[in-house]
């Protein structure tokens, strides 16, 4: 943990709050979430792992067994019940479909969109097999990307690009935003 950086005041975070990371699969939410949590000296919560733990199944098996609609409902319910403090929350990409989940994340603290281009998404996710990618039958990964992007933008307090793949640069951009005066404009 970087003790010097974590002791500086972060106006955008209240001491007992949380920060949530949203974005497409492959955007780096889990990786950046762990790095940010370590830097802040906070816990890291990965909602995909939380869902797997709750149901005792890998995400893909759960999605296959429940079907898309029931899976999204389960995700919305579990995330909307989060009651964490001093935590960085890495969400599943489909969390943005859950109104109650997104309301809860916003109540806990800032919501940050980790943005990647369509090309990066396709390259990082591949065919999406065994990833637990919540996509409706007959829809393409391109369709999914274009459907979700405006939802992420609308829900986010800040957006940082993770296209370059340099997690430490993305971490610094995010940390600088957290440390900035709250009166600065969104984004």
Which is nearest to 79 in space by CA: 66, 91, 93? 91
**Residue 66 per-residue DSSP state:** H
What are 171's two structure tokens?
A: 């971490």
Contact 55, 49 (CB under 8 A): no
Q: Is 26 annotated as a binding residue?
A: yes
Q: Is 28 annotated as a binding residue?
A: yes
| d(C-alpha 87, C-alpha 78), whole Å | 16
Contact 153, 114 (CB under 8 A): no
User: E strand or H helix at 158, and its extent?
Assistant: strand 158-161
Q: Is 48 annotated as a binding residue?
A: yes
What are 116's two structure tokens?
A: 């990647």
**Residue 120 per-residue DSSP state:** H
Q: Is 186 annotated as a binding residue?
A: no
What are the CA-CA distances from residue 103 to residues 12, 20, 29, 146, 155 (Å)?
A: 18, 11, 19, 22, 9
Q: Is 161 annotated as a binding residue?
A: no
Q: Is 31 annotated as a binding residue?
A: yes
Q: Is 30 annotated as a binding residue?
A: yes
Binding site for substrate, by residue number, is 48, 93, 148
Binding site for Mg(2+), by residue number, is 30
Binding site for ATP, by residue number, is 26-31, 131
Binding site, by residue number, is 26-31, 48, 93, 131, 148
């Amino acid at each position: 943990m970087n003790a010097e950086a974590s002791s500086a005041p972060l106006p955008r975070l209240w001491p007992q709050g949380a920060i949530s990371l949203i974005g497409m699969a492959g955007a780096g939410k889990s990786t950046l979430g762990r790095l940010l949590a370590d830097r802040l000296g906070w816990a890291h919560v990965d909602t995909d792992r939380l869902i797997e733990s709750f149901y005792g199944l890998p995400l893909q098996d759960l999605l296959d067994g429940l079907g898309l609609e029931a899976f999204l409902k389960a995700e919305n319910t579990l995330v909307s019940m989060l009651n964490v403090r001093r935590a960085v929350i890495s969400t599943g990409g489909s969390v943005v479909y859950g109104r109650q989940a997104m309301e809860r994340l916003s109540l806990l603290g800032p919501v940050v969109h980790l943005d990647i281009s369509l090309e990066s998404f396709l390259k990082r996710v591949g065919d999406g097999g065994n990833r637990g990618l919540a996509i409706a039958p007959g829809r393409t990964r391109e369709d999914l990307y274009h459907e979700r992007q405006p939802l992420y933008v609308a829900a986010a307090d800040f957006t940082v690009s993770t296209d370059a793949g340099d997690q430490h640069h993305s971490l610094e951009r995010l940390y600088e935003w957290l440390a900035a005066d709250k009166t600065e404009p969104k984004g």
